[in-house]
């Protein structure tokens, strides 16, 4: 089966391409790095020719509210149109657990807009809602830092490894379209402030983690269950304590730069203000 992975050279996409290939599928990594641009449409028709499934794990290069909305709306419209022309039978999109509960955040508003476009198309689909990735723990801490302290709300948190994300998305992509949402999450649930207090200490990070009920998460105030799935979620296998990358470098995004860069960090600060 030919499966095209949009964002296929990024963190999750590269893992997904490898895993699908190991299971005998023709997995195509589609990204600007391979000549496929969903914003301009460049290379889309060629990449999707003969494809049965398209999996979109791409992400916006900017998290500023208007920029991220433009990215997801333009990219998704172009992608769905190309899929319709190519006769693709299953569109899979990676999204975020709690998206519909966090409309204060420009990023999550953009993800809601993306999901509505997918639901309104004629192409059978599966939308995968994943909890936060282990790989972005440092990035989350950086975004939550004010005056040298990491401010976290006392709410539930259930992160998962990128490998578990890719495995779950891969299984969903080769199955029948759900025409709905599927939730995936890590195997352990904890409180986010306690998680970061322990995790940063283990990394040798000297920042103090302050419990603040009004601390915002990428621009949105949280309730106890904003970030965790409901009953029936597919759970990963890798615990954070067993994850090899827990003290490693920041992940590299699909543009070849370190995630959590100053530019992205500044755009999020602007949105929160």
Residue found under tokens 């597919």: 234
Is the pLDDT at 250 greater than 90, yes or no? no
Q: Rounded to an integer, what distance in angstroms lies between the CA atom of residue 24 and that of residue 18?
A: 10
Is the pLDDT at 255 greater than 80, yes or no? no
Going from the C-alpha of 214 to that of each of 63, 82, 141, 154, 222, the distances in angstroms are 21, 43, 16, 9, 8
Q: Rounded to an integer, what distance in angstroms lies between the CA atom of residue 44 and that of residue 31?
A: 10
Nearest to 72 by CA among 111, 109, 119: 111
Is the pLDDT at 257 greater than 50, yes or no? no
Q: Rounded to an integer, what distance in angstroms lies between the CA atom of residue 108 and that of residue 101?
A: 9
Q: Rounded to an integer, what distance in angstroms lies between the CA atom of residue 27 and that of residue 5?
A: 7
Percentage of residues of the chain with pLDDT beyond 90: 88
Average of per-residue pLDDT across 230-248 = 91
- Are 144 and 150 within 8 A, CB to CB? yes
For the chain, give the mean pLDDT: 91
- Please provide the CATH number assigned to the domain covering 2-272: 3.40.50.720
Tell me which of 62 and 165 has the higher pLDDT. Answer: 165
Average of per-residue pLDDT across 103-122 = 96
Helix (H) or strand (E) holding 215: none
Q: Residue 4 burial by CB count (10 A; 0-12/13-18/19+): exposed, middle or buried?
A: buried
- 89's CB contacts (< 8 A; 6+ apart) are 52, 53, 123, 124, 177
| Least confidently predicted of 76-80, 86-90, 257-261 | 257-261
Nearest to 190 by CA among 250, 245, 137, 135: 137
Is the pLDDT at 270 greater than 70, yes or no? no
**What Rg, from alpha-carbon coordinates, does the chain have?**
18
Q: Rounded to an integer, what distance in angstroms lies between the CA atom of residue 254 and that of residue 32?
A: 8
For the beta carbon of residue 230, count every other beta carbon within 10 angstroms: 10
Is the pLDDT at 107 greater than 50, yes or no? yes
List, in sequence order, the alpha helices (H) in the chain: 11-22, 44-48, 65-86, 106-120, 137-143, 162-173, 192-203, 262-272
Per-position DSSP letters for 121-169, written without gaps between them: SSS-EEEEEE--BGGGHHHHHHHTEETTEEEE-S-EE--B-HHHHHHHH
Nearest to 34 by CA among 21, 44, 26: 44
């Amino acid at each position: 089966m030919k499966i095209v992975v949009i964002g296929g050279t990024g963190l999750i996409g590269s893992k997904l391409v490898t895993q699908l290939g190991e299971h005998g599928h023709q997995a195509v990594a589609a990204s600007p790095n391979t000549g496929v641009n969903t914003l301009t449409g460049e290379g889309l028709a060629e990449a999707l020719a003969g494809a049965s499934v398209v999996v979109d794990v791409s992400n916006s290069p900017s998290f500023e509210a208007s920029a991220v909305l433009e990215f997801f709306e333009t990219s998704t419209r172009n992608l769905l149109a190309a899929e319709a022309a190519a006769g693709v039978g299953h569109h899979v999109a990676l999204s975020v657990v709690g998206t519909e509960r966090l409309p204060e955040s420009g990023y999550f508003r953009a993800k809601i807009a993306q999901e509505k476009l997918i639901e309104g198309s004629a192409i059978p689909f599966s939308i995968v809602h994943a909890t936060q990735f282990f790989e972005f723990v440092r990035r989350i801490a950086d975004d939550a830092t004010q005056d040298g302290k990491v401010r976290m709300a006392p709410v539930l948190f259930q992160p998962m490894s990128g490998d578990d994300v890719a495995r779950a998305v891969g299984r969903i992509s080769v199955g029948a379209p759900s025409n709905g949402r599927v939730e995936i999450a890590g195997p352990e649930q904890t409180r986010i402030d306690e998680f970061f207090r322990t995790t940063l200490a283990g990394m040798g990070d000297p920042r103090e983690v302050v419990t603040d009920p009004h601390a915002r998460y990428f621009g949105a105030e949280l309730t106890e269950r904003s970030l965790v799935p409901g009953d029936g979620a597919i759970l990963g296998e890798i615990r954070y304590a067993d994850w090899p990358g827990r003290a490693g470098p920041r992940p590299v995004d699909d543009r070849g730069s370190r995630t959590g860069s100053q530019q992205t960090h500044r755009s999020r600060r602007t949105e929160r203000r």
